[in-house]
Structure formats: structure tokens, C-alpha cells
Chain A
């Protein structure tokens, strides 16, 4: 199984709502990522988890809260978002740091299209 799955595919939420995005992989990868992608732009890294521990936080606002319950799952909890947070949210995974990190091939999921009203 070389797939990263994400749910939901689409999400519409109000600025006072709380929602969560879910990502799952069964490739035995030990690093998982959240990216934000605006239209006609490349993905921007938000968070990296390595061995279920938060490794990188790219100064993301606290209204985005990541969680890694186990090595296969990654969640992104959303609260009090702003309309400018509307974007495609991509999850990715790659092999862990015990292997050559320079060969850091990332596998991406299909994304969740988020609209904040």
C-alpha cells in the first residue's frame, strides 16, 4: 500500500467552528507532514512529525493544532479559522531519519479542500 489517504475531501466551516482533518498512511513511514497550498502556489510546509513527535512547526498560528496519535495517523485540529485560511491542505509522509534523509521522497495525499466562511 503506497497511498496516503485524507478525509474529508471537502470541508466548509464557519469562523467559530471546530473541525479536524485526518491523514493516514500504512507504508511504515515515520515522518508525516502537513502542508497548506493556496491556488497557483506551491505547497507551504506547516508541521513535521518524526516518530510521532513534533519536529518542525513553521510558526503556524495556534488556531491550527496538529496531533499524531500513532505512527500511521496524523490529525490537524482547526478552531477559530479566518477566511484567509481557505486552501488545500495536503498531508505527506516519508521514511524515517534512520535512512538517508537526503533521499527524502515524500508521498502526498489528495488533500482536503477547506473553505472558511
Chain B
């Protein structure tokens, strides 16, 4: 079945460090891929998305490239800030369904 695997957290970084959160997927068909962010006590916010292979999603300094050959959608940011501390969810949506498959989430803590 379809699935999303994210790296285990928590990830703790110093401010201005480089961030990578790994996400790999298995899916039948051609999924769309998403990164959502959840700040403490809040709902999920869409961070970025990619709908086909080699698409690069970007937003607020975060980037992720849809790699079909490695079935990956890793999240990166060149310089994290304390305000980036949150839980990050990778998700996929397969055409023809309403369902999202979420990864387990990766908690990021950025220290000043």
C-alpha cells in the first residue's frame, strides 16, 4: 500500500544551521507530495507542494524537490530560525482518492 516514511525526530539545531528532513514514499500511480508544518497548539499549514516529478516546491526559505527515481521529497532550509521550531509532516495524495497519507512527523527545535 501507499506509505510515507519520515526521519525520526526530534531534530535539534542551532539558529542559522542547515536543515534537512528526509521523506521517502511508496505509491501506486503518480502522487502529489506536500510538506505541512504544525506549530504548537495549532492546526496544519501547507508549507510547500509538488505535483509531478522534478517539481521543486518552495516557501519561506524551505525547499523540496520531487524525486521520482529515489521516491523522495526531502525538506531543506539553508538557515533555520528559532521561529521554525515546529512539527513537520510529509504527506502524499494519490489521484482518484481524497486520502492523504501522512508521515509520522518530525519535531524540529531550533536553539538561539
Given contacts A90-B44, A102-B31, A107-B46, contact A56 B103 (CB under 8 A): no
Name B's interface SS.
loop
Residues of chain A within 8 A (CB-CB) of B18 are none
- Beta-carbon nearest neighbor of A112 in chain B: B43
Q: Flag if B97 contacts A101 (CB, 8 Å).
A: yes
- The count of A-to-B residue pairs whose CB atoms sit within 8 angstroms is 71
Contact indicator per residue, chain A 37-60, by CB within 8 Å of chain B (1) or not (0):
000111101001010000110000
Cα-based distance from A100 to B31 in the complex (angstroms): 11
Given contacts A42-B104, A90-B43, A90-B44, contact A105 B49 (CB under 8 A): yes
- Number of B residues near A (Cβ < 8 Å) is 28
Closest chain A CB from B62 CB (angstroms) = 16
Within 8 A of A (CB), among B77-97: 89, 93-97
- Beta-carbon nearest neighbor of B94 in chain A: A102
Asked if B20 lies at the interface with its beta carbon under 8 angstroms from chain A, I say no
Interface size class of A (residues with CB under 8 A): 20 to 34
Cα-based distance from A102 to B29 in the complex (angstroms): 10
Asked if A71 lies at the interface with its beta carbon under 8 angstroms from chain B, I say no
Cα-based distance from A43 to B99 in the complex (angstroms): 11
Q: Flag if B42 contacts A111 (CB, 8 Å).
A: yes
Q: Flag if A108 contacts B43 (CB, 8 Å).
A: yes
Given contacts A40-B105, A107-B46, contact A102 B98 (CB under 8 A): no
Q: Which residues of A contact B (CB under 8 A)?
A: 4, 6, 31, 33, 40-43, 45, 48, 50, 55-56, 88, 90, 92, 94, 100-111, 113
